[in-house]
Structure 1
Amino acid sequence: MAGTSWIGLRLDALDTLFFRDGRPFDAASRATGGLPAPQTLAGAVRTALLARTGFDFARFAAERKNGDVMAALRKCRANEAVISASFRGPWLALADDREVTPLLPMPEVLKRAKSAGWSRAKPRKPQDVPGWHDPNDLHPVWRDQETDAKAAPELLTLAGLTSFLTGDDPADAECVKLGDVHGYDHRVGIEVSADSFTTKEGMLYGIQLLALKRRYPDHPTGRKVCLYAEIQVDGDLEHHLANMAVPFGGEGKYVGATKVPACVWPAADASAKHSLWYLATPTFFSPTGRPLPRVAGLTAAASGAGIPVSGWDVAYNGPRPTRFAVPAGAVYFVEGPGESTAFLDGEQSGALRQEGWGFALQGKWEG
């Protein structure tokens, strides 16, 4: 889809939202969820666009049972531009009348320092850390000062992330506490029989819903809290993206989608001698061995714990096997420029990249 520009999408929640993670949900368990995964956003927007372009959903329910989803889509009058659309995001965001500012996960190597300022982790030589041995010959990542374990989780604006990528510390004004833009609404429900529409004794369950705050800061003049994503689509489909209601975030939940200018992301430097790569969206690497990118010159890596990802298999009309993704915010130190395409691996990398997984941004480090 070379030559096609990206379009920004502002997503305003009309209610609480629910995005399940990949853990099983059965009796006596709590349905927990958090922020939406790339595949959730891609599936929701694709479905909404198909509905607006004459897709035959009733026929598709039968055709998909043959197993060839792409053939079934085309038989049911799927718009080719919708099928081939690519996505980025979604991210939490702040919006006003002028722009939408995405809020990105804090880099794994950047934490608040216990004393003051920031604690930044950087690669050290293996001989500098007694007893260090890594099976992949990676260098240890070491902090320059102790972190503040009590510091609240924070997000970075794009300007703040750009400062980090260029080797500077982000300004406090570019940092947003996670609890200031969203919270969780904990509820208890009871199962209802589909046949009799009556409740079943003892079938209680708990659920955790995502609730976006109305404004940041919490003041009438504050910016509105929303979600932000991007879509790259061929064809004359832009008019369908204006003021579109999209089912998103659970049964009966909707967001209002509005077309906005796309972000200007930091450009990569192909001549960099030492590069730092930051994951802006979660990714998948090879299912065997350690979750590391296949990039020449990989020197060190820093990542949080894997996040469970499942979803619905359209062809088989059932849940996908649970996989574990590397979370956004992971950082990789590379000798040389590296390549953005290296941060997504596997047989389905083309389809996964189309959904928005593995979006990486290049920065620099001294080496």
Structure 2
Amino acid sequence: MNDTLQLTFEALDTLFFREALPMDMAGGVELSSVFPPPARTVVGAIRTLIGESRGVDWGEFKQGTSPLNELLGTHEHLGKLRFRGPYLLYRGERLFPVPGLLLRTPRRKNDEQAYVRLAPDLQTPVHCDLGRVFLPGLEQPNPGVQPLEKAFLTGAGLKAVLSGGLPSSEEVIPQTKLYVEEPRLGIGRDVKRGTVIESLLYQTRHIRLGPHPEDGPVQIGMDVGGLEEKILPDSPLWIRFGGESRMASVRQGTPPALPVPDAPAHPRGVLVTLLTHGDFGKDERPGWLLPGFQEETHEGATCWTGTIAGVPLRLVSCVLGKAVREGGWDLAHHRPRPVRSLVPAGSVYFFQVLSGDLRAAVEALHGIHLGHEQAWGRGELAAGYW
């Protein structure tokens, strides 16, 4: 995005971004936080901030007669605004979800943590629920490897992975350095009478960012495009952010650039990894399948062919995480939003390039968005080599 700015949010205390479950669900005892927060939550906070900073009349805005309707859009269709993120910042640097192809090996005492990569095995198709397909595997047997969960990569770590290599242990940031969950107990209140309401106890789990001050601050960032001027003063503002009206400061800055991968000596193909959750559904196709890709048989196995950003590609394999369920609250109609399943950030798609140069393909795919609700930041891609 051109002419963009970065907004960073830093919590005063804790934050709460409720998972897509009702408070009164049968058998439920505790609601957890979704983190990093849903894109719609952050976008909603930013749209509200922009409106307030420009003196919007929210009554006129709801009726569609405000001068800011064209800029801010609606809860379904954004106006001129475009977003990238949300993402975490650690010591001022953007962090990235760990691509699903990266696994950690068993750690021996006093040894540095080591990692290995998955890559498509194009020699031995496997029969599974998808048919006869190429599955990702290890080039060499390595017993005890596990997915690298609850961690993030620095820019240098992501560049190493996209360039066909492996990150160092210093480039992998564990969740425990970034945030911890805190259980909370609440009770319903009758505001008019100044009393509590019987049988309305509830439990939630809040997020505390930067639990170890010596490790440096942790913020939530999002890039905003479509603005012709700055929206914030130089000093930070305080806003209500997320559920339960938690407070956070917001600052304006310069958006970080994506790390650009280097081409390895003998690449076999290109890959893309999702930096934000992707929404590829809304029809009868599998929810994980990229838009425009059609099934075909190649060398005795099921593959999928399609075009992204003008690059003809064959999807030969992928590594997918558990689907993310995301709902939220529809402020315009005062009701819950329908819950949808999203392809999680960190999912990886392996391609063969059907025409053209691999380097040119990576340049074309790197940093674009794919799928539905791209303006909200969904489906951001980072491209590299395998």
TM-score range, shorter chain: 0.7 to 0.9
Percent identical residues: 26
Aligned 1:253-292 pairs, distance under 5 A: 253-267=246-260, 274-287=269-282, 288-290=284-286, 291-292=288-289
- Cα RMSD over matched residues? 2.8
Counterpart in 2 of 1:69?
none
Query: Offset of 1:147 from its aligned partner?
Result: 4.4
Query: Offset of 1:92 from its aligned partner?
Result: 1.9
1:186-228 per-residue CA deviation (whole Å, 9 max, x = no partner) reads: 011111124423212232111111111254xx52xx4212222
* Contact 1:119–1:146 (8 Å) recurs in 2: no
* Contact 1:48–1:247 (8 Å) recurs in 2: no
Counterpart in 1 of 2:55?
54
Matched, 1:303 2:320: yes
Distance in 2, matches of 1:86 and 1:30, equals: 35
User: Given the superposition, is the C-alpha separation of residues 241 and 344 from structure 1 closer, same or farther in structure 2, using an over 3 Å criterion?
Assistant: farther
Query: Offset of 1:332 from its aligned partner?
Result: 0.6
1:151-207 per-residue CA deviation (whole Å, 9 max, x = no partner) reads: 773211111111111111111111111012100110111111244232122321111
Distance in 2, matches of 1:34 and 1:18, equals: 8
Aligned 1:186-225 pairs, distance under 5 A: 186-215=183-212, 218-219=213-214, 222-225=215-218
Secondary structure of the 1:183 match is strand
- The match for 2:97 among 89, 92, 105 is 105
Secondary structure of the 2:217 match is strand
Number of equivalenced pairs: 336
User: Given the superposition, is the C-alpha separation of residues 170 and 273 from structure 1 closer, same or farther in structure 2, using an over 3 Å criterion?
Assistant: closer
Counterpart in 1 of 2:66?
76
Query: Offset of 1:123 from its aligned partner?
Result: 0.6
Query: Offset of 1:128 from its aligned partner?
Result: 1.8
Q: What amino acid maps onto 2:370 in structure 1?
A: L
Query: Offset of 1:273 from its aligned partner?
Result: 7.5
- The match for 1:90 among 86, 94, 107 is 86
User: Given the superposition, is the C-alpha separation of residues 187 and 118 from structure 1 closer, same or farther in structure 2, using an over 3 Å criterion?
Assistant: same
* Contact 1:54–1:77 (8 Å) recurs in 2: no
Greater shift, 190-199 or 315-324, is seen at 190-199
Distance in 2, matches of 1:44 and 1:157, equals: 26
Counterpart in 1 of 2:370?
344
TM-score by length of 2: 0.78
* Contact 2:50–2:231 (8 Å) recurs in 1: no
Distance in 2, matches of 1:283 and 1:180, equals: 26
- The match for 1:233 among 204, 226, 232 is 226
* Contact 1:56–1:77 (8 Å) recurs in 2: no
Query: Offset of 1:340 from its aligned partner?
Result: 6.2
Structure 2 unaligned regions, length at least 5: 73-78, 108-112, 294-305, 307-313, 354-360
Matched, 1:114 2:106: yes
TM-score by length of 1: 0.82
* Contact 1:50–1:79 (8 Å) recurs in 2: no
Query: Offset of 1:265 from its aligned partner?
Result: 0.8
Structure 1 unaligned regions, length at least 5: 64-71
Secondary structure of the 1:335 match is strand
Greater shift, 77-86 or 222-231, is seen at 77-86
User: Given the superposition, is the C-alpha separation of residues 259 and 142 from structure 1 closer, same or farther in structure 2, using an over 3 Å criterion?
Assistant: same
Distance in 1, matches of 2:40 and 2:234, equals: 18
Counterpart in 2 of 1:362?
383
Distance in 1, matches of 2:51 and 2:225, equals: 15
Query: Offset of 1:279 from its aligned partner?
Result: 0.4
Secondary structure of the 2:95 match is strand
Secondary structure of the 1:354 match is helix
Counterpart in 2 of 1:140?
135
Secondary structure of the 2:243 match is coil
